[in-house]
Amino acid sequence: MNRLSLDSLKVEQTSALPTFQWDARYETGIALVDAQHQTLVAMLNMLIAVLTGEHAASPDEILALLDELDRYARLHFADEERVMREGGYAAHECDKHARQHAVFAEQIGNARNEYLAAAHPIGLLESLARFVTSWLSFHILGSDMQMARQIRAAGENSPDLAEVARNRANEAGRTEVLVDAMQQVYTLMAERNAALAAARDELALLNASLEQRVSERTADLQAALDELGRTREQLLQSEKMSAIGRLAAGVAHEINNPIGFVSSNLGTLRQYVEGLVSLVDKYDRIHARLPLTESGRAKLKALKDAIDYDFLRDDIGSLLAETGTGVARVKRIVEDMRSFSDIGEFEPQPTDLNALVESLVPPLANDLEGRAGIVCSCEPLPPVACLPTQIAQVLTNLLSNAAQAVTPPDGQIELKTRSVGEAVEIEVTDNGCGMSADVVQHIFEPFYTTRPPGQGVGLGLSLSYEIIKRHRGQIDVTSEPGKGTRVAVRLPLLQ
């Protein structure tokens, strides 16, 4: 990557964005800090030269300059914060100073990233130049000068003012009244300084308390923002599922009629083909007894060989069977789409979920025998308003997915029920292969599946999601690759 040279660039003040002129006002008296500040001024003026056209810089050169600014932010701030600590700068003031540094470093990093992504970055670079110019004026003349003054004050050993007054009075030795007056003045000054110091300490405590309250309030706001983000994601998911449901209903309707014709015609075609094959077989038996010449028999055989009749006769049945299987699969997919788009009438009834769970576990345990174990733990539950058949469908889908995720013979599936506030929770946990965060993000989307082609169309979990949502419930998934999956379904109590 090409690098801009600090010495090769001559800058003249030729535009509305002037070069930054360094003078004694910006000198803190700390050699390392002042030298690094002047380096920042030089980089700022290089950036201004690019913007004013004094230097025709390539994108790589501009990126190199942004990299140098980013490096400066990291190295200079580390040096300056070390100087503050070693100079006895107050800890809370160090923290406040460091936060200002962090803001500057963040702005430089953001500008670099935005420059890489921007199509027209000139406006971005001009904003960056103005930001650095403001920073130099505000930070150096303000925070850095205050830091330098306090470090110098901490390093000085000023004699006690009252003692100085006494020494001077003894040296004069002429007028005791004057000595007493001076002593009183110095005493008052000392008391005033002590009061100012106490006020300063009290103000520091108040500032610290304020920062603590601001920090707590910021944490509360962040928590509220996170909750708002989760709510937004849930609303987006709900809207997306609703739109997909309408699409699925339309597709299912359009496919259902033609697939019905195909299925019906396929059955009729099978009967026709069976009749034709039977007719040809009978014709073969009859014509074998007819007094045909060898030439006639040869012509008939040539006709059969031309269409490979023997192969067709054996294969046509398999073709029809496979076609029937394919049509049946399409019909099942259409039915799943219709179920997803219209779950049906919703007339909930009081239901004992424990009884429902206990009715589903034994058949699954038999199917999993030798492959995985299933453990059921049910706490006493109050009744829940739901459609038992639909909740059974949800649990069947969850248990089926868990069974496919575990590896025999060490697979383990746990099913638990419990009361949680004004709801009941059904939890299905497995020790299977688990899922990545990206997969978990998409598992409730229709037609999303991680199974090989032909082993599912990805409607089971999306249908389960819609059922639980219609029951005013909630379904949450926690998973990690190699560590299994936990699915929790919550349903409100019967009101």
Helix/strand/coil (H, E, C) string of 411-443? EEEEEEEEEECCEEEEEEEECCCCCCHHHHHHC
| Rounded percentage of the chain residues whose pLDDT exceeds 90 | 4
Dihedral of alpha carbons 124, 128, 130, 131, sign: positive
Mean per-residue pLDDT for 5-13? 38
Average pLDDT of the residues of the chain: 76
Q: 407 or 1, which is more confident?
A: 407
Tally of domains within the chain: 4
What pLDDT does 425 receive?
92
End position of a domain, from candidates 155, 175, 197: 155
**Whether residue 302 sits in one domain with residue 379:** no
The single-letter DSSP state of residue 174 is S
pLDDT tens digit sequence for 331-374: 777 776 666 555 555 678 888 889 888 888 888 887 777 778 88
Is residue 138 domain-resident?
Answer: yes
What pLDDT does 485 receive?
92
**Whether residue 374 sits in one domain with residue 443:** yes
Is residue 284 domain-resident?
Answer: yes
Strand, coil or helix: 375: strand
**Whether residue 45 sits in one domain with residue 30:** yes
410, 411, 409: which is closest to 401 by C-alpha? 411
Pairing of β 485-492 and β 423-430: antiparallel
**Whether residue 457 sits in one domain with residue 353:** yes
pLDDT at 416 over 50: yes
Is residue 14 domain-resident?
Answer: no
pLDDT tens digit sequence for 229-287: 777 776 776 666 666 666 666 667 677 778 777 778 788 888 888 888 887 877 777 77
Is residue 324 domain-resident?
Answer: yes
For residues 227 and 305, is the Cβ–Cβ distance under 8 A? no
What pLDDT does 427 receive?
93
| Dist. CA 403–CA 107, nearest whole Å | 51
Residue 269 sits in which domain range? Answer: 241-341
2, 116, 106: which is closest to 64 by C-alpha? 2
**Number of residues written out for the chain:** 495
pLDDT at 482 over 70: yes
**Whether residue 485 sits in one domain with residue 378:** yes
pLDDT at 17 over 70: no
What pLDDT does 426 receive?
92
Q: Would the pTM of this model clear 0.75, i.e. be above it? A: no
What pLDDT does 429 receive?
92
End position of a domain, from candidates 206, 228, 250: 228
For residues 478 and 428, is the Cβ–Cβ distance under 8 A? no
pLDDT tens digit sequence for 278-297: 878 777 777 767 776 777 77
| Dist. CA 341–CA 344, nearest whole Å | 9
Instruction: Report the amino acid identity of residue 18.
Output: P
What pLDDT does 397 receive?
86
**Whether residue 165 sits in one domain with residue 120:** no
**Whether residue 335 sits in one domain with residue 279:** yes
What pLDDT does 165 receive?
37
Confidence label for 424 from pLDDT (cuts 50, 70 and 90):
very high
**Whether residue 386 sits in one domain with residue 484:** yes
**Whether residue 208 sits in one domain with residue 108:** no
Confidence label for 118 from pLDDT (cuts 50, 70 and 90):
low
| Dist. CA 306–CA 291, nearest whole Å | 24
**Whether residue 416 sits in one domain with residue 285:** no
Is residue 308 domain-resident?
Answer: yes
**Whether residue 392 sits in one domain with residue 320:** no
Is residue 183 domain-resident?
Answer: yes
**Whether residue 253 sits in one domain with residue 317:** yes
Confidence label for 317 from pLDDT (cuts 50, 70 and 90):
confident
pLDDT tens digit sequence for 151-196: 877 766 544 333 433 443 444 344 344 434 444 443 444 455 456 5
